[in-house]
Amino acid sequence: MRYSRDLRGYGETPPDPKWPGDARIAVQIVVNYEEGGENSIEHGDAASEAFLSEIIGAQPWPGKRHWNMESIYDYGARSGFWRLHRLLKDIPVTVYGVATALERSPEQVAAMQEAGWEIATHGLKWIDYRDAPREVEAEHIARAVELHRQVTGERPHGFYQGRTSMNTVELGCEEGGFAYLADSIADDLPYWHVHDGRPQLMVPYTMDANDMRFSSGQGFGTGVEFFDYLRDSFDVLYAEGAAGAPKMMSIGLHCRLAGRPGRAMAIRQFLDHARAHEGVWFASRLDIARHWAAVHPHQPRLRPSQMDRDSFVARFGGIYENSPFIAERVWDAEMGAVHDSAAGLAGRMAQIFRAADEDERLDVLRAHPDLAGKLAQARRLSADSSAEQAGAGLDALTDAERAEFTGLNEAYMAKHGFPFIIAVRDHDKAGILAAMQARISNDTATERATAEAQVVRIATLRLQEALK
């Protein structure tokens, strides 16, 4: 089984985004423009809207219009948009514009363009696509792009569906014309997603620093709570940037929610807080996407989880000395992006090794050669073992040293029934000899556990070399 989700991402040390001007943080504000694109039988839908409004717990009204719901959305277009526009018109904002909503709001679109805001597509309609057939959603995306072009004068460079299906990101990749997709909440930095061999930049969005939480049961009750959350998010990310790991902060706003007076104050206070700091880059999502593509272009790399079985076993079958069954079982088990790193693949191979039965694990131990033994002298070691022993100086022993190693090898094997095993990359010749002298007196159960741990360590070091 191939696991589709990437639970590793950038790992412990994310890349330095190298924001313009050495900024410590990139602040990205989204204004969602959905008013006029929501569910309504007047828009050809089966029921009224029930999502993201002041009516907590609202339900669709099949076959009926909902006056209060429509009025709430109307407020976003009539008043909320203009309030946010006044607050943000001097900042590089990104608008997530539902195409049919933009079509019904020519004055607002003109104001967005006059402010220099990026207008990304938010799909054709503000509806739930989770059950939409793939071909229907693909058609809607194509229609959204064309309608967006007609209304704004150019095609959108970014795409955020929002109420997605499991097909949305694939369809966005396949559309082929987007500089970035935003249907991800997976990171604090942009990242490259590969679909059918083609890289697509993802610029993640947010559900936490988002005024949508005013419309949920567990969320913001007041503008003070919203400001506190935005300020704390900014302060943590700013401190990380000052420490050498800059990130991106996304903020999501909706005209009918944050556009209300009691909430708009939180936006004003946040802007004052952010502007009081040096090294803050306010950017549109397209600014961020273009910067990332230029500074961190996609770099093809070996992805073990995507290799066919024969290629995988040929490449990694020797990681556990002369024991290809470990690689075979790894490939046959669940694999995903987390196994495309040295640490991830080492962890899975160690798991498979530990899951093997007693005899199989003993066979792995016995597959290891003696250190500086007859196989080494006859040049019959595996390539990895040969390089490892040479790196520790075991290929250049004096006669006295060779005699001492030989005697210790024979005594160890006679006592424990398997060769002495140690990760020689971690030691020099003197350290290896000292370890042999110390460990030979261990009881066999203790030494068996030690040897198995060393086998795992050897595999980890080999994978670090193979996947660096």
Report the 3 state secondary structure along 101-143.
HHHCCHHHHHHHHHCCCEEEECCCCECCCCCCCHHHHHHHHHH
Task: Give the whole-angstrom CA distance, residue 348 versus residue 260.
Answer: 51
Q: How many Cβ atoms from other residues are within 10 Å of residue 342's Cβ?
A: 18
pLDDT in the model for residue 42: 77
Please write down the long-range contacts of 207-210, taking CB distance under 8 Å and 24 or more positions apart: 207/252, 208/233, 209/233, 209/249, 209/250, 209/251, 209/252, 210/251, 210/252, 210/253
Q: What is the pLDDT of residues 284-333, one digit of tens each?
A: 999 999 999 999 999 999 999 999 999 999 999 999 999 999 999 999 99
Determine the average pLDDT of the residues in 88-112.
Answer: 97
Residues assigned a catalytic role: 368
Please write down the long-range contacts of 425-433, taking CB distance under 8 Å and 24 or more positions apart: 425/388, 425/391, 425/392, 425/458, 425/461, 426/457, 426/461, 427/392, 428/392, 428/393, 429/392, 429/393, 429/394, 429/397, 429/401, 432/371, 432/392, 432/394, 433/401, 433/404, 433/405, 433/408
The answer to whether the CB of 212 falls within 8 A of the CB of 52 is: yes
Q: What is the pLDDT of residues 376-393, one digit of tens each?
A: 554 555 777 766 776 656
pLDDT in the model for residue 398: 75
Determine the average pLDDT of the residues in 114-124.
Answer: 97
Q: Which helix (H) or strand (E) holds 22?
A: none
The predicted model scores a pTM of 0.89
In this structure, which amino acid lies at residue 7? L
pLDDT in the model for residue 231: 97
Mean per-residue pLDDT of the chain: 91
Q: Which of 385, 351, 381, 350 is nearest to 455 (CA)?
A: 350
Can you read off the two tokens belonging to residue 337?
A: 């992006």
Q: Is the pLDDT of residue 4 over 80?
A: yes
